[in-house]
Amino acid sequence: MNQDAKVQTRVAVAFILAVVVAAFWKLALMKGLLITDDIFASDLMNENFPYRFSLGNALQSGHLPLWVREIYGGFPLLARADAGVCYPFNLLLFGLFPPYLALNLTILLTIATAAIGCISTRVRSQQSAC
């Protein structure tokens, strides 16, 4: 990859990150939460967030997030895909930060990672064509 292509790639990454931050400015500035309206309810806040909150509590107390006593009569958190127990951003952010901040950062980082992955794929496909 020549120097000009590296500069173009960096400009593209900076541009796409700026677009992500502009589209989700409330999340980026921690001024709100992304709550979708699923006909008068939100799956994120009613179902997924409580699992991730429990994940954060377990990680911050030094336990593996295998079982949650507070949900129903006990619940295998690792068995619930919505909890995101095996997702690296959830493990890192919910273990380090307060739950609402971790949720915002997880959403932003997931979108930014996908965007950078798209750019990387495009750059690699152009390199292989040459």
Each residue's pLDDT, cut to its tens digit, for the chain (130 residues) gives 678 778 888 888 899 889 988 988 888 888 877 666 667 677 777 778 888 898 999 999 998 888 888 777 888 888 888 888 999 999 999 999 999 899 889 989 999 999 889 888 887 787 766 5
Q: What is the 3-state secondary structure (H, E, C) of 66-77?
A: CEECCCECEEEH
Question: Could you tell me the residue ranges of all domains in the chain?
Answer: 3-129
DSSP state of 42: -
Which of 77, 35, 32 has its CA nearest to residue 57? 77
pTM of full prediction above 0.85: no
